[in-house]
A and B are shown apart, each in its own frame.
Chain A
Amino acid sequence: AQKVTQAQTEISVVEKEDVTLDCVYETRDTTYYLFWYKQPPSGELVFLIRRNSFDEQNEISGRYSWNFQKSTSSFNFTITASQVVDSAVYFCALSEAYSGAGSYQLTFGKGTKLSVIP
């Protein structure tokens, strides 16, 4: 069974600080995808990134960067120079090749609530 662990329930940082959100996953598949979603107070889940299990290159998009390490089953997310608008709940999720009975289920972590204080 697949599992995603986000050990940090809540994080508070002061604006302009860097912050890293941790994600550790478990899967028996050799081929899978990892995702990060952002959920601001409005409630919508906003897709941020999708990473193939075969691609371990780190990715940077503006102030966001992701560090995928297959050896430690981790897919961490760093926000550089955080801003108040980054305040949200961030979910890490895993999708395997087959999750049973035709299901397209994403396995989500429990989320990390990030508060950026001005």
Chain B
Amino acid sequence: DAMVIQNPRYQVTQFGKPVTLSCSQTLNHNVMYWYQQKSSQAPKLLFHYYDKDFNNEADTPDNFQSRRPNTSFCFLDIRSPGLGDAAMYLCATSRGQEDRRETQYFGPGTRLLVL
């Protein structure tokens, strides 16, 4: 059974056209993360939510926003996608009951193409 679900798996958007990627989880985890992974690179953390508390990484562009309406869902909004934003976007979750060293569980990712 899928535990971290990402939709869609593939997303095509136009340069400058806002796009939203979604993530849901059935694990009831407190923490949800969004990572960006470009080709042949390691995943790069964009931000995470601890419950409703939003934590932005210092170098995440303002073009990227996130929403977490409830425990199960988290959205990544790209306000004005540029060609450089084409990447795999990975959602992950962790329990949030331990300290920061706990295991993160990843979804299958959404591959974004910007035309």
Q: B42 to chain A: which residues have CB within 8 Å?
A: 91, 108-111
Q: What's the A-B contact tally at a CB cutoff of 8 Å?
A: 72
Does A63 make an interface contact (CB < 8 A)? Answer: no
Does A84 make an interface contact (CB < 8 A)? Answer: no
Q: Which of B48, B99, B104, B106 has the most CB of A within 10 A?
A: B104
Does B107 make an interface contact (CB < 8 A)? Answer: yes
B109 touches A44 (CB 8 A): yes
Q: A35 to chain B: which residues have CB within 8 Å?
A: 103
Q: What residue of chain B has the Cβ atom nearest to residue A110's Cβ?
A: B42
A102 touches B109 (CB 8 A): no
Q: What residue of chain B has the Cβ atom nearest to residue A50's Cβ?
A: B103
A103 touches B55 (CB 8 A): yes
CA distance A43 to B35 in the complex (A): 13
Q: Which of A105, A109, A111 has the most CB of B within 10 A?
A: A105
Interface string of B19-47 (1 = CB under 8 A from A): 00000000000010100000011110100
Q: A32 to chain B: which residues have CB within 8 Å?
A: 101
Does B51 make an interface contact (CB < 8 A)? Answer: no
CA distance A46 to B4 in the complex (A): 11
Contact of B106 among A33, A37, A111 (CB under 8 A): A37
CA distance A107 to B40 in the complex (A): 16
Does B111 make an interface contact (CB < 8 A)? Answer: yes
Contact of A97 among B58, B100, B111 (CB under 8 A): B100
A86-118 contacts to B, CB under 8 A, are 91, 95-99, 101-106, 108-111
Residues of A at under 8 Å CB distance from B? 31-33, 35, 37, 42-47, 50, 91, 95-99, 101-106, 108-111
In order of increasing CB-CB distance, the 10 nearest A-B pairs are: A108-B42, A45-B106, A33-B101, A43-B109, A44-B108, A95-B101, A104-B100, A105-B45, A50-B103, A102-B55
